[in-house]
Structure 1
Amino acid sequence: MKHVFFQKGFRPFFLFGSLLGAALVPWWAHTYDESLTGKPGLEGIAWHSHEMIFGFAVAILAGFLLTAVENWTDRKTARGGLLVGLVALWGVGRLVSVGGITASIAGLAELSFLPVLTVVIGIPLILAGSRRNYLLLAALPALWCCDVIHHLRASGLLPQTSVRGDLVAVDIIVLILVVVTGRIVPLFTRNALQDQRIQAIPGLNTAAIVAVGLTALVEIFAPTGIVMAVVAGAAGLLVLARAVRWGGHRTLASPILWILHLGHAWIVAGLLMKAASAVWLGIQPSVATHALTAGAIGTLTLGMMARVTLGHTGRVLKVSPFITVAFVLITLGAVLRVFGPWFQPQLTRTALIISANCWFLAFILYVVVNARYLLTPRPDGKEG
């Protein structure tokens, strides 16, 4: 399999992941008041949360890691037939909700995907001795455990009072984002603004990572109460504090930069909302969850996909006006999804529909603008 589409992990996973994400949210919004029948084991909210996390978000994460690990280690991850196989495992796994024998086959495929991905990126990381990335590697089997728990809980094999694997998975993905943004956002901003004063603060960065990791751990044992409030609150404040020298306020003229700073700000907002919702009934836990998902994960995946696609296909790092519109739409959609139901509960349905349409348009714009880059060779003739 020598087609350029299967020569770098970001190409198929960004394209297919974006198409899936674009379809899932409006589909869910328009069936919000209905029971999703014919999906044994994964119905309603369980289906929605599962596919957004283990379908959409994990696909984008896979595309990013398969590409980034090659840069970090100067070793290949998955290309050609191996990459086709990975994409096939992920794709077949999306049939997990159809029921019958197909669902069983899909379940096996889906539960194989993260272990295979772990091996594929783990081998080059370990051979290269890339210890600073071992945390990212360890996050993948942790996500797999969350997926297993989510399936067992949704199918009734675990009680509904047991730990919610989907919520822990969100925390783990946020932890990955905290690690990655701590490296790239100050670096990209410093290089673009040519200002050496823009720096990461190592001590604060480490403290923020530890605090977010503890938040995921507390989610398992005490998702509500004072412990979660303290840990998530501290995590939010530390993530905020580490960004004080990142120069985010100076990036407004550069959409490819401000979208990353905005996504990072959503992490802060989501963690602080999680802290508040743990002890105060005035904020529903779902508000905090969607600040981290529709806000942080949605914004950062779109922003990083736009940048990685341009950079790794040999294009100039300047997004088109259509992608800037996509950034505005993803932001508007997140604001409506998070704050609409909170401030105007009677308008929850309306806010959900508008937000879903914004999300859909944002990711469709990404696909329309970038599909030709993902499907064709680099103009400079280089590999990738």
Structure 2
Amino acid sequence: MASTAPQVRAYTGLALFSFGFRPFFLLGAVWAAVSVPLWIVTYSFGPGALPFEAGLVWHVHEMLFGYGAAVVAGFLLTAIPNWTGRLPVCGTPLIVLVLVWVAGRVALLVQTDPAWIGATVDAAFLFLFAGLVWREVIVGRNTKNIKVAAAVTTLALANAGFHYLHLSSGGLPRIAINGGLATLLFMIMLIGGRITPSFTRNWLARRGAPPPVAYGRFDAAVLVFSLVALAAWVFAGDHRFAAVGMVLAGGLNVLRLARWRGYACLAEPLVLILHVGYAWAAVALLLLGLGSIVPEIVPRVAGIHAAGAGAIGVMTLAVMTRSSLGHTGRALVAGSGTVMIYFLINLAALLRVGATFLPISFQTSLNPVAALIWFGALAGFCLVYGPRLLEHHAFNLTHSLRP
């Protein structure tokens, strides 16, 4: 069987379609940069401000199942060949997959008539991708990552449920939104919980510093407890039992993170940002739980934005920057542009979460500011990393992100 690296080097088509991370990271970042300002225009000036659909329902969907799904696809299409030893998806099959994702974005933006056509086009991508992941994991006998395939399938089901509930009942389908958020948060805890201490260990070892605590029973227990708590929150988020479970899960993940010696990596932004992204996931769990227990103190939406803008926003950019550097043969060094991207995405998340604790009049002013800063972070990724993703360069197998 041919290995991943020779297969990529043998590819002679457009560089953009030589590996999954290239088109999905770039197009996902472009879409995230554009879609949030579109939503803010609608938020600030009303639903008739734009000639197409960019309201709240669209905004929530596109952040979770548009941008979120793109980054998941880019990461897994790059990681799975290294887990299984099978050939990567590139060339025509990758182009088809990307076009299906793009078709979903266009269909939902222009609002097809009847609406179920656009919903079907959009839902097709994640089901197609889930099938691909299952095929690779099963054929590659990589049973360790069946849980990753199950997570992608859950994300696909949540997306389909979002469309079905919205088309049948209107409004925001809360259970589907919670399902999508919970799935992405769990993937951060699952995969981020492996790569964060792993890259921290490598960096500390080169400096002769003590390593983080190795993965063990405590980590496995935290993952299982977090999964149960997230499932309870999805289906019974207002129940005190589910809310307390989320708070406990958040606290356990704080303890898990504290064992990885993130404080010793302050000099290395590429490692530190992984810790920050995981910290946002733990904070999101805490706020989501507290939002149900003491909603008069912690707004319910604070946890939603801590999960979306914080955990998902920060961790996706952390993975996208590191993976883009390593897999295009660059040195794993965060330049000034990368550091600025990290600063902006965290500032946008802090403003978005903080605004929820303020009166509506202040939120109206702060939300556009947060959106502008979010745009700066994602547009910054496109400017700094776009040229690297579009050009051929030596593939470096040693920088693979393994869960």
Instruction: Give the TM-score normalised by the residue count of structure 1.
Output: 0.93
Rounded Cα–Cα distance in structure 1 between residues aligned with 2:195 and 2:384:
24
Q: Output aligned runs, 1:221-300, within 5 Å.
A: 221-281=235-295, 282-300=297-315
Rounded Cα–Cα distance in structure 1 between residues aligned with 2:113 and 2:360:
41
Rounded Cα–Cα distance in structure 1 between residues aligned with 2:281 and 2:18:
32
Q: Output aligned runs, 1:61-76, within 5 Å.
A: 61-76=72-87
Among all aligned residue pairs of Structure 1 and Structure 2, give the percentage whose two residues are the same amino acid. Answer: 31
Q: Output aligned runs, 1:1-384, within 5 Å.
A: 2-36=13-47, 44-94=55-105, 95-101=107-113, 104-155=116-167, 157-158=168-169, 163-194=174-205, 195-281=209-295, 282-379=297-394
- Residue 126 of structure 2 aligns to which amino acid in structure 1? L
The change in CA–CA distance for 1:373 and 1:102 in structure 2 (over 3 A counts) is: farther
- Residue 253 of structure 1 aligns to which amino acid in structure 2? A
- Is this contact kept in 2: 1:260–1:300, CA < 8 A? yes
Rounded Cα–Cα distance in structure 2 between residues aligned with 1:151 and 1:141:
16
- Residue 108 of structure 1 aligns to which amino acid in structure 2? T
- Is this contact kept in 2: 1:96–1:102, CA < 8 A? no
Rounded Cα–Cα distance in structure 1 between residues aligned with 2:317 and 2:121:
26
Rounded Cα–Cα distance in structure 1 between residues aligned with 2:42 and 2:233:
29
The change in CA–CA distance for 1:43 and 1:18 in structure 2 (over 3 A counts) is: closer
Rounded Cα–Cα distance in structure 1 between residues aligned with 2:396 and 2:356:
50
Rounded Cα–Cα distance in structure 2 between residues aligned with 1:246 and 1:352:
34
The change in CA–CA distance for 1:182 and 1:7 in structure 2 (over 3 A counts) is: same
After superposition, the C-alpha distances for 1:26-47 in whole angstroms (9 at most, x for unaligned) are: 22123214443599xx773211
After superposition, the C-alpha distances for 1:137-180 in whole angstroms (9 at most, x for unaligned) are: 0011211111122112222x147697520121001100011001
Rounded Cα–Cα distance in structure 1 between residues aligned with 2:171 and 2:386:
41
- The count of corresponding residues between Structure 1 and Structure 2 is 383
- Is this contact kept in 1: 2:42–2:54, CA < 8 A? no
Rounded Cα–Cα distance in structure 2 between residues aligned with 1:314 and 1:366:
17
Deviation at 1:232, TM superposition (A): 0.5
- Is this contact kept in 1: 2:30–2:379, CA < 8 A? yes
Deviation at 1:216, TM superposition (A): 2.9
Rounded Cα–Cα distance in structure 2 between residues aligned with 1:313 and 1:141:
29
Rounded Cα–Cα distance in structure 2 between residues aligned with 1:305 and 1:218:
30
The change in CA–CA distance for 1:251 and 1:43 in structure 2 (over 3 A counts) is: same
- Residue 118 of structure 1 aligns to which amino acid in structure 2? A
- Residue 143 of structure 1 aligns to which amino acid in structure 2? L
Rounded Cα–Cα distance in structure 2 between residues aligned with 1:103 and 1:320:
45
- Is this contact kept in 2: 1:86–1:113, CA < 8 A? yes
The change in CA–CA distance for 1:308 and 1:60 in structure 2 (over 3 A counts) is: same
- Is this contact kept in 1: 2:38–2:54, CA < 8 A? no
- Is this contact kept in 2: 1:115–1:144, CA < 8 A? yes
- Is this contact kept in 1: 2:299–2:356, CA < 8 A? no
Unmatched segments (≥5 aa) in structure 2: 1-11
Secondary structure of 2:392's match? coil
- Is this contact kept in 2: 1:77–1:121, CA < 8 A? no
- Is this contact kept in 2: 1:163–1:221, CA < 8 A? no
Which stretch of structure 1 is more off in the superposition, 222-231 or 93-102? 93-102
Rounded Cα–Cα distance in structure 1 between residues aligned with 2:112 and 2:170:
23
Rounded Cα–Cα distance in structure 1 between residues aligned with 2:88 and 2:128:
11
What is the match of residue 9 of structure 2?
A: none
Deviation at 1:327, TM superposition (A): 0.5
- Residue 132 of structure 2 aligns to which amino acid in structure 1? V
Instruction: Give the TM-score normalised by the residue count of structure 2.
Output: 0.89
- Is this contact kept in 2: 1:219–1:228, CA < 8 A? yes
- Is this contact kept in 1: 2:229–2:242, CA < 8 A? yes
Rounded Cα–Cα distance in structure 2 between residues aligned with 1:347 and 1:44:
20
Rounded Cα–Cα distance in structure 2 between residues aligned with 1:90 and 1:319:
30
Deviation at 1:212, TM superposition (A): 2.4
Secondary structure of 1:137's match? helix
